[in-house]
Structure 1
Amino acid sequence: MNDAKTTKTKIEELHKKACEEGRDFYIDPETGYQVMTALYHRKRGHCCESACRHCPYGFKKQD
Protein backbone atom coordinates (compact mmCIF):
# COMPACT_ATOMS: atom_id res chain seq x y z
CA MET A 1 0.00 0.00 0.00
CA ASN A 2 1.46 3.40 -0.92
CA ASP A 3 1.96 6.21 1.58
CA ALA A 4 -0.93 8.36 0.30
CA LYS A 5 -3.38 5.47 0.57
CA THR A 6 -2.06 4.52 4.00
CA THR A 7 -2.48 8.11 5.22
CA LYS A 8 -6.01 8.34 3.75
CA THR A 9 -6.98 5.07 5.44
CA LYS A 10 -5.54 6.26 8.77
CA ILE A 11 -7.46 9.55 8.49
CA GLU A 12 -10.69 7.70 7.73
CA GLU A 13 -10.14 5.46 10.78
CA LEU A 14 -9.34 8.40 13.06
CA HIS A 15 -12.42 10.30 11.83
CA LYS A 16 -14.72 7.31 12.28
CA LYS A 17 -13.43 6.64 15.81
CA ALA A 18 -13.74 10.30 16.81
CA CYS A 19 -17.35 10.42 15.57
CA GLU A 20 -18.22 7.15 17.32
CA GLU A 21 -16.84 8.62 20.55
CA GLY A 22 -18.77 11.87 20.04
CA ARG A 23 -15.63 13.97 19.67
CA ASP A 24 -15.57 17.18 17.64
CA PHE A 25 -11.91 16.89 16.60
CA TYR A 26 -9.08 14.44 16.02
CA ILE A 27 -5.37 15.04 15.40
CA ASP A 28 -4.10 14.74 11.83
CA PRO A 29 -1.31 12.12 11.90
CA GLU A 30 0.91 14.02 9.45
CA THR A 31 0.55 17.64 10.54
CA GLY A 32 -0.45 17.37 14.19
CA TYR A 33 -3.28 19.86 13.54
CA GLN A 34 -6.77 19.42 14.95
CA VAL A 35 -9.31 18.41 12.31
CA MET A 36 -13.03 19.06 12.75
CA THR A 37 -15.24 15.99 12.40
CA ALA A 38 -18.46 15.82 10.42
CA LEU A 39 -20.18 15.52 13.80
CA TYR A 40 -18.82 18.94 14.77
CA HIS A 41 -19.99 20.47 11.49
CA ARG A 42 -23.51 19.07 11.89
CA LYS A 43 -23.69 20.39 15.46
CA ARG A 44 -22.65 23.83 14.19
CA GLY A 45 -25.57 23.62 11.78
CA HIS A 46 -24.27 25.34 8.66
CA CYS A 47 -21.51 25.25 6.06
CA CYS A 48 -18.70 27.81 6.38
CA GLU A 49 -17.69 27.23 2.72
CA SER A 50 -14.05 26.64 3.64
CA ALA A 51 -13.90 23.17 2.02
CA CYS A 52 -13.35 21.41 5.35
CA ARG A 53 -12.05 17.85 5.09
CA HIS A 54 -15.19 16.22 6.53
CA CYS A 55 -17.86 18.70 5.38
CA PRO A 56 -21.24 16.96 5.67
CA TYR A 57 -22.77 19.64 3.42
CA GLY A 58 -20.80 18.61 0.33
CA PHE A 59 -19.04 21.96 -0.23
CA LYS A 60 -16.06 21.78 -2.57
CA LYS A 61 -13.90 24.79 -3.50
CA GLN A 62 -13.83 25.66 -7.19
CA ASP A 63 -10.35 25.63 -8.76
Structure 2
Amino acid sequence: MKRILPLEEGDFYLSKEGYKVFTEQYHLKRGYCCESNCRHCPYGFDPRGKR
Protein backbone atom coordinates (compact mmCIF):
# COMPACT_ATOMS: atom_id res chain seq x y z
CA MET A 1 0.00 0.00 0.00
CA LYS A 2 1.33 3.43 -0.89
CA ARG A 3 1.53 5.93 1.91
CA ILE A 4 0.57 9.57 1.62
CA LEU A 5 3.45 11.93 2.36
CA PRO A 6 2.73 15.45 3.55
CA LEU A 7 4.35 18.04 1.29
CA GLU A 8 7.05 20.15 2.86
CA GLU A 9 9.03 23.16 1.73
CA GLY A 10 11.40 22.14 -1.06
CA ASP A 11 9.34 19.14 -2.20
CA PHE A 12 7.98 20.90 -5.29
CA TYR A 13 7.81 24.12 -7.24
CA LEU A 14 5.26 25.48 -9.69
CA SER A 15 6.16 25.56 -13.38
CA LYS A 16 5.42 28.68 -15.38
CA GLU A 17 2.29 26.86 -16.61
CA GLY A 18 1.16 26.33 -13.01
CA TYR A 19 1.93 22.61 -12.70
CA LYS A 20 3.41 21.14 -9.53
CA VAL A 21 6.92 19.79 -10.28
CA PHE A 22 8.32 17.43 -7.66
CA THR A 23 11.97 17.86 -6.73
CA GLU A 24 14.67 15.24 -6.16
CA GLN A 25 14.15 15.82 -2.42
CA TYR A 26 10.55 14.64 -2.69
CA HIS A 27 11.37 11.62 -4.84
CA LEU A 28 14.05 10.47 -2.40
CA LYS A 29 11.65 10.92 0.52
CA ARG A 30 9.04 8.87 -1.35
CA GLY A 31 11.60 6.10 -1.77
CA TYR A 32 10.84 4.59 -5.17
CA CYS A 33 10.61 5.39 -8.87
CA CYS A 34 7.09 5.66 -10.32
CA GLU A 35 8.46 5.33 -13.89
CA SER A 36 6.57 8.43 -15.06
CA ASN A 37 9.69 10.10 -16.50
CA CYS A 38 9.76 12.76 -13.80
CA ARG A 39 11.98 15.75 -14.48
CA HIS A 40 13.99 15.40 -11.26
CA CYS A 41 14.04 11.59 -10.87
CA PRO A 42 17.09 10.55 -8.79
CA TYR A 43 16.60 6.86 -9.68
CA GLY A 44 17.81 7.07 -13.29
CA PHE A 45 14.59 6.01 -15.00
CA ASP A 46 14.91 5.98 -18.79
CA PRO A 47 11.63 5.59 -20.72
CA ARG A 48 13.54 3.95 -23.58
CA GLY A 49 14.27 0.99 -21.31
CA LYS A 50 17.88 1.80 -20.40
CA ARG A 51 18.73 2.31 -16.73
- TM-score by structure 2 length? 0.71
In structure 2, what residue type is equivalent to 1:48? C
> What do you get for the CA RMSD once the two structures are aligned?
1.6
Higher relative contact order structure (alpha carbons within 8 Å, sequence separation ≥ 6): 2
More helix by percentage: 1
Count of matched residue pairs: 41
SS for the counterpart of 2:13 is strand
Query: What are structure 1's unaligned runs of at least 5 residues?
Result: 1-21
Deviant stretches of 4+, over 3 Å: none
What is the aligned counterpart of 2:15 among 12, 22, 28?
28
Query: What are structure 2's unaligned runs of at least 5 residues?
Result: 1-8
